[in-house]
Amino acid sequence: MSDSNRILVVDDEERIRRLIKMYLEREDFVVEEAENGVEALEKALENDYDCILLDIMMPEMDGIEVCEKLREEKNTPIIMLTAKGEESNRVQGFEVGADDYIVKPFSPREVVLRVKAVLRRTGQTNVKQTSMQTNNLIVLQHLSI
């Protein structure tokens, strides 16, 4: 499990955290949870996560403030996961440092794929992907070229 990517899932709704955790763990991610912004910020500053899924509307400290404070210290990839889908909300999320933005309701499979995409772009991935080159053949997990 030491090669697995560590993900922090932050949402004040337990059922959403559990659902995302279940899908991510199926893909061999190690998932930790936080239920509010203060807990999320503490965990994110104390630990090194490969990606953080962060709700905006939470008690104690909202996701925008968590993202701003975290960006002062770390460059951990952050995906906003929120019911606030207006353009102004998305723009604000990106302006404070989010790497991606997913609007609720969401597809858990899409969340997993977006996490993998962000990890690939940031070079922090340990996602299982085999790449062999033999006689001009490139073989990836679901693709041969």
With cut-offs at 50, 70 and 90, classify the pLDDT of residue 131. Answer: very low
CATH number of 55's domain: 3.40.50.2300
Q: What is the pLDDT of residue 33?
A: 97
Task: Decide if 1 is inside a domain.
Answer: no
Task: Decide if 103 is inside a domain.
Answer: yes
SS3 17: helix
Task: Decide if 109 is inside a domain.
Answer: yes
Task: Decide if 115 is inside a domain.
Answer: yes
Q: What is the pLDDT of residue 142?
A: 65
Q: What is the pLDDT of residue 56?
A: 94
Count: domains in the chain: 1
Residue 133 has pLDDT above 70, yes or no: no
Residue 134 has pLDDT above 60, yes or no: no
Q: What is the average pLDDT across 86-97?
A: 92
Distance in angstroms (rounded) separating the CA atoms of residues 105 and 74? 29
Q: What is the average pLDDT across 81-101?
A: 92
Domain span including residue 88: 6-144
Q: What is the mean pLDDT of the chain?
A: 87
* Strands of the chain, DSSP E: 6-10, 30-34, 51-54, 78-82, 100-103, 132-134, 137-140, 143-144
Q: What is the pLDDT of residue 59?
A: 87
Task: Decide if 32 is inside a domain.
Answer: yes
Residue 100 CA to its chain's centroid (Å) = 8
Q: What is the average pLDDT across 97-107?
A: 94
Report pLDDT digits (tens) over 7-63. 999 999 999 999 999 999 999 999 999 999 999 999 999 999 999 999 999 988 999
Q: DSSP state, 107?
A: -
